[in-house]
Structure 1
Amino acid sequence: MYKRVVLKLSGEALAAGRGFGVDSDRVHEIAGEIAEVHAMGVETAVVVGGGNFFRGVAEQAKEMDRVSADNMGMLATVINALALQDAIEKQDIHCRVMSAIEMHEVCEPYIRRRAVRHLEKGRVVIFAAGTGNPYFSTDTAASLRAMEIRADVLLKGTKVEGIYDADPVITEGAVKFEQITYMDILRLGLKVMDTTAVSLCKDNNLPMIIFNLNQPGNIRRVVSGEKVGSLVTA
């Protein structure tokens, strides 16, 4: 169904419900699912968040300067990216971490042409450190990277089945959208991604699929074209 995809993972997805840190078993489960998609011949890039260590807009950062807090959050994404890289390489797949903040001893700097070349050579690429700028979320980084490498679709793994008109965790009877436009997300104020990321996707006609990451095999199903989660189009 798709030749090149960007998968957006939250930092919390790697914590497996513990809220903090990296759960080794969960990271290896996700790496296994990425390996399945890779084996199908799909060029796979991943953007990972850092909320399981530090989030610039969280309660723990309220007394801090926003720029300093966001810089800490970006460094947290590098920790997650390295953990995921290790798990993917244990699946016998070549993987590269590319950071928007240069740290040569740890990973490669992000260079668009080099990232595309890695994908063409069959390597999984993990984009770390967000956009490298404060005030921009990893959702925005995922949208930006997807546009830069000309991905066919942006996949966002969450803990719910898709996009709902209200939070299904706390609202009984919340209605799921099978398909929705980016404009409707903005108009209804749905907390799917931040508005910058949504606007970027809308302006560049990039489709996005929101799906439940906790359901085993869902990444493969989405990439195969099965109707999983919610499809967002311009």
Structure 2
Amino acid sequence: MNYKRILLKLSGESLMGNKPFGIDPERVNQYAKDIKEVADKGVEVAIVIGGGNIHRGLDAEKGGMDRVQADYMGMLATVINSMALQDALEKAGIKTRLLSAIKMEQICEPFIRRRAVRHLEKGRVVIFGAGTGNPYFTTDTAASLRAIEIEADVVLKGTRVDGIYTADPEKDPNAVKFEKITFNEVYKKNLNVMDMTAFTLCQENKLPIIVFDMNKPGNFMKIALGEPIGTLVEG
């Protein structure tokens, strides 16, 4: 396998599948199957999930809600998504641990870095819920931060497109895909990969990012094997 320890970032919207809102069990089960295949090969997998399929703090703020309150609601949404994926993984036969940046003792463990690393070393899939535990930070930033803390080899950002393009491929048919690109080129071209805080964290810590299509079964395994799937950001 090409990587020993992976941080997989999933958006909340990805869990909707073809639904307009909420969680699509079929999509979650597909993700669980793909993650199990990689974990069964001995790769240590940690996961961060967004909450946009349930609640988006920025959208709520635009509607007049206090930003801090809205962001905390978004963090709770990520825990709901994390619990759904945890359930699917365990039904698939994978041992998991859900660690939250906000204390919720009845449903998950508090995030402690050394504990998270120990779970990974024991072969458990670790899911990080509640973002960073602080308002004004996205789950992209949480993914970058947790990846650095656990010393992951790579951040894999699973999306519904198969990489980074010169423009939105769903809107511009002439958009060209990058197979590989540097952090500085992403800055210069103003490409939308992650929010700036998350992206800068990865650049400063020399942590590569791969953006790929998680909705295509088998892609996660191909990346774990080192196949050139998606777009690699490094250097």
Please give the TM-score of this superposition, normalised by the length of structure 2.
0.97
List per-residue Cα deviations over 1:25-61 (Å, max 9, x = no partner): 1111100000000011000000000000001112675
Distance 1:214 1:183 in 2: 28
Q: Which runs of structure 2 are paired with 1:124-163 in the superposition (5 Å)? A: 124-163=125-164
Letter in 1 for 2:113: R
Q: Does the 8 Å CA contact 2:60/2:70 hold for their aligned counterparts?
A: no
Corresponding residue number in structure 2 for 1:35: 36
SS of the equivalent of 2:126 reads strand
Identity %: 60
- Counterpart amino acid of residue 126 in structure 2: V
| Cα displacement string for residues 81-101 of structure 1 (whole angstroms, at most 9, x for unaligned residues) | 000000000111110100000
Structure 1 runs of 4+ with >4 Å offset: none
User: Equivalent residues in 2 for 1:81-230 (5 A)?
Assistant: 81-230=82-231
Q: Tell me the C-alpha RMSD between the 2 structures.
A: 1.0
AA partner of residue 125 (structure 1): V
Question: What is the SS of the residue equivalent to 2:107?
Answer: coil
1:14–1:52 CA contact under 8 A, matched in 2: yes
**Native 8 Å contact 1:61 1:69 kept in 2:** no
Structure 2: 5+ residue stretches without partners: none
Pairwise CA distance, 1:11 = 0.5
* Deviation at residue 62 of structure 1 after TM alignment: 2.7
Shift of 1:185: 1.4
Amino acid at match of 2:46: A
> Which amino acid in the other structure matches residue 91 of structure 1?
A
Give the Cα–Cα distance (whole angstroms) in 2 for the partners of residues 93 and 159 of structure 1: 25
Deviation at 1:17, TM superposition (A): 2.8
Three-state SS of the structure 2 residue aligned to 1:210 is strand
* Matching residue of 2:11: 10
Shift of 1:72: 0.5
Counterpart-to-counterpart distance in 1, 2:60 and 2:131: 20
Q: Give the AA of the match of 1:119.
A: L
- Does the 8 A contact of 1:9 with 1:157 survive in 2? yes
Which residue of structure 2 aligns with residue 231 of structure 1? 232
2:58 partner SS: coil
In the alignment, the residues of structure 2 paired with residue 81 and residue 47 of structure 1 have an alpha-carbon distance, to the nearest angstrom, of 8
CA contact (8 A) 1:181 1:233 kept: yes
8 Å CA contact 2:61–2:70 kept in 1: the answer is: no
Whole-angstrom distance in 2 between the partners of 1:123 and 1:187: 39
Calculate the TM-score normalised by the size of structure 1. Answer: 0.98
Q: 1:12, 1:19 within 8 Å by CA — same for their partners in 2?
A: no
d(CA) in 2 for partners of 1:187, 1:80: 34
- Cα distance in 1 between the residues matched to 2:137 and 2:18: 25
> What is the alpha-carbon distance in structure 1 between the residues aligned to residue 18 and residue 178 of structure 2?
25
The whole-number CA distance in structure 2 between the counterparts of 1:177 and 1:29 is 27
Aligned-partner Cα distance in 1 for 2:68–2:60: 15
Deviation at 1:4, TM superposition (A): 0.3
